[in-house]
Amino acid sequence: MASKSFSSSSSSSGCSPASDRRISVLARHLVAENALSSSPIYASPTSSANSVFAHIARGPEDPILGVTVAYNKDPSPVKLNLGVGAYRTEEGKPLVLNVVRKAEHMLVNDRSRVKEYLPIVGLADFNKLSAKLIFGADSPVIRENRITTVQCLSGTGSLRVGGEFLAKHYHQRTIYIPLPTWGNHPKVFTLAGLSVKTYRYYDPATRGLNFQGLMEDLGSAPSGAIILLHACAHNPTGVDPTPQQWEQIRRLMRSKALMPFFDSAYQGFASGSLDEDAQPVRMFAADGGELLVAQSYAKNMGLYGERVGALSIVCKDADVAGRVESQLKLVIRPMYSNPPIHGASIVAAILKDGNLYNEWTIELKAMADRIISMRKQLFDALHARGTPGDWSHIIKQIGMFTFTGLNSEQVAFMTREYHIYMTSDGRISMAGLSSKTVPHLADAIHAAVTRMK
């Protein structure tokens, strides 16, 4: 045997026991390699003919982010990306808020800052300030310390961590999401281990809220079920319940012990006011019941790529909140260990400084106002063209998106003929539009509805 002769020859050469061991390990390794290379079924992933991944089918592009992939490939000079919800200026450029630049400048010049790992739950200041932002500075849940807030990877990561926590520790594993909803919701929650069902939300006939359907579906959900609610600026419909309807939803949910899980991805983008957009969450927090909320700073601070968000879980008392947090850490640690420091430091710097905070609210309001003015301009442009149909929903809907009612063939036509990119459900990101591009979009919609009925 090769190994035997190798080791015996080495020991006879007078080596130490340690080097003997190393040599015999090396010998076993070489023998094993020899055995493998002489085997007829040997296949290396690097050998050109047979990849061990050869059976893998190409996956589909993401329905939202894939729109940008297609847009980037189009050489047309008039192309327009109204797919992903990302704010653009009147010049069609991405915007870094001035207040963000100021905060970054402060951070860069602060020599005391280090790049150590954050704790598993993230930056403490950021967590406290995020809770204050969504629940209000004088909120009883903060005063009574019966809340845990953990920094997560933007809105998506917060939803995923919340979903995983519920799947592990909550007695009901079914989550009801609105129909329709953000396309990633069902995937995030299914992979978190929850079972996903829908409740009626949007009525295509009125292009408004199907309030009766919503109340019936929540009314027949099993006691304790989790209900995903868009805190404001519902994506993709742009249709939110009125404050009175929210109150009825709250009463029904509390009477059936349904667990609210708010997705707050657009605080400040619906009305232009951070406090007003947080009202539904605050209404539920004020009644003493428990709830979850996922916050994102992607849109309202323009920190898309920084991946900064937070998950808060409101509990009955401080003791429960502490234990919930200990379990959230066990969810987070094996997933990504701990969150990134930079984006959270920017947010914390802005939220804790009165002047920066005020400046932020002004810039945020300007973004919200520009979107509202795009709604008016698009509505007027369609009206001027005599485009068949009632387009008043463009000005009634709120937030980043208009759910146009265009069908997938009309959307495909607009992409093919006009190089306008949007999701196939007819959603357009109003934030991607500008005064210069409104006429082009209005021409495309007019052609689509008149030619592709």
Return the active site residues: 182, 263, 299
Considering only 263, 277, 306, 363, the residue that binds ligand PLA (CB under 6 A) is: 263
Stretch that binds ligand PLA, among 49-57, 108-116, 149-157, 316-324 (CB under 6 A): 149-157
Q: What residues contact residue 82 under an 8 Å CB cut-off, 6+ apart?
A: 420, 421, 422, 428, 429, 430, 432, 433, 441
What interhelical angle do 342-352 and 124-135 show, nearest 10?
50
- Give the alpha-carbon dihedral of 261, 267, 270, 275, to 10 degrees: 100
Nearer to ligand PLA, 229 or 382 (CB): 229
Query: Which of the residues 192 through 251 are near ligand PLA (CB under 6 A)?
Result: 230, 235
- Tell me how far, at minimum, the Cβ of 23 lies from ligand PLA, in Å: 54
Nearer to ligand PLA, 3 or 338 (CB): 338
Rounded Cα–Cα distance for residues 153 and 371 (Å): 26
- Whether the ω angle into residue 236 lies within 30 degrees of 0, i.e. cis, is yes
Q: Is position 296 an interface residue for ligand PLA (rule: CB under 6 A)?
A: yes
Stretch that binds ligand PLA, among 106-114, 152-160, 358-366, 412-420 (CB under 6 A): 152-160
Considering only 23, 27, 64, 430, the residue that binds ligand PLA (CB under 6 A) is: 64
Considering only 309, 399, 426, 432, the residue that binds ligand PLA (CB under 6 A) is: 309
- Tell me how far, at minimum, the Cβ of 72 lies from ligand PLA, in Å: 16
Q: Of 161, 219, 228, 242, which Cα lies nearest the Cα of 198?
A: 228
Residue type, 256: K
Q: Is position 280 an interface residue for ligand PLA (rule: CB under 6 A)?
A: no
Antiparallel, parallel or unpaired: β 259-264 and 401-403: unpaired
* Cα angle value 84/88/94 (rounded, 5°): 95
Stretch that binds ligand PLA, among 151-159, 167-175, 353-361, 412-420 (CB under 6 A): 151-159
User: 338 near 115, Cβ under 8 Å?
Assistant: no
Q: Is position 411 an interface residue for ligand PLA (rule: CB under 6 A)?
A: no
Q: Is position 278 an interface residue for ligand PLA (rule: CB under 6 A)?
A: no
- Tell me how far, at minimum, the Cβ of 181 lies from ligand PLA, in Å: 7
Residue at token pair 């040599």:
23
Q: Of 401, 403, 452, which Cα lies nearest the Cα of 431?
A: 401
Q: Is position 151 an interface residue for ligand PLA (rule: CB under 6 A)?
A: no
Rounded Cα–Cα distance for residues 385 and 256 (Å): 50
Query: Which of the residues 165 through 194 are near ligand PLA (CB under 6 A)?
Result: 182, 184
- Tell me how far, at minimum, the Cβ of 298 lies from ligand PLA, in Å: 4
Helices (H), 386-437: 393-396, 408-418
Considering only 87, 97, 136, 155, the residue that binds ligand PLA (CB under 6 A) is: 155
- Tell me how far, at minimum, the Cβ of 185 lies from ligand PLA, in Å: 7
Antiparallel, parallel or unpaired: β 202-203 and 208-209: antiparallel
Considering only 7, 81, 156, 404, the residue that binds ligand PLA (CB under 6 A) is: 156
Q: Which residues bind ligand PLA (CB under 6 A)?
A: 64, 84-85, 154-156, 182, 184, 230, 235, 263, 265, 296, 298, 309
